[in-house]
Amino acid sequence: MSGEKPKGAVEVIHPPNKIKARVGPAGKGMDPNLLARAEAAMVKAQEQVDFPSQANPELARAAATVALLLSDRENQAKHLSTLFNIVHDLRGGGGNFGYPLVTRIGGMLCRYLEGRTTVSMAEVEVLRSLVDAMRAVVGNKLKGDGGSVGQELCTGLERLIV
């Protein structure tokens, strides 16, 4: 690293394109055949993952963390951070392993928690509802968009967090 620069000074560096050198000059853009092969392999891999078996213990941990928000109020910031991380990971995985409803509800919870370090009793109940909804989705194996039940559930939850 160089030393302190004058305020506003910007140095531009063009590093050698090592990746391009390695993959060679022959390609251009995405190869549609290769893409089709990758998409097919991905679908097959997704089907082999049992999302509920990994999500259920995490959702149980999320529910226990929500309970701590009331029983251990002085450490709410820590518990909110834990809850955010648990749900964030589930949100990321849900859409990839057949449970986009988990991603949708998890997204609501993450947005609700964004930047918060404390929550009221009423807000804890909102969080509890969102975690319970995700548990219901996974417990009942509501895959895909969950049909009309899934849509109603999400519409109701969206009203709750407004």
Contact positions toward other proteins, by CB under 8 A? Answer: 1-2, 4-5, 7-20, 22-24, 26-31, 33-35, 37-42, 44-46, 49, 51, 54, 85, 88-89, 91-97, 100, 103, 106-107, 110-111, 114
**Identity at 25, one-letter amino acid code:** P
**Identity at 68, one-letter amino acid code:** L
20/73 with CB nearer other proteins: 20
Nearest-approach distance from CB 122 to other proteins, in angstroms: 24
CA contacts within 13 A on the Cβ side of 101: 29
Q: What is the C-alpha separation between 115 and 122, in angstroms, rounded?
A: 18
100/146 with CB nearer other proteins: 100
Nearest-approach distance from CB 57 to other proteins, in angstroms: 13
Nearest-approach distance from CB 121 to other proteins, in angstroms: 26
Residue pair 55/64 in contact (Cβ under 8 Å)? The answer is no
Nearest-approach distance from CB 16 to other proteins, in angstroms: 6
Residue pair 138/105 in contact (Cβ under 8 Å)? The answer is no
**Identity at 91, one-letter amino acid code:** R
At 101, list the tokens. Answer: 């409803």
Residue pair 118/76 in contact (Cβ under 8 Å)? The answer is yes
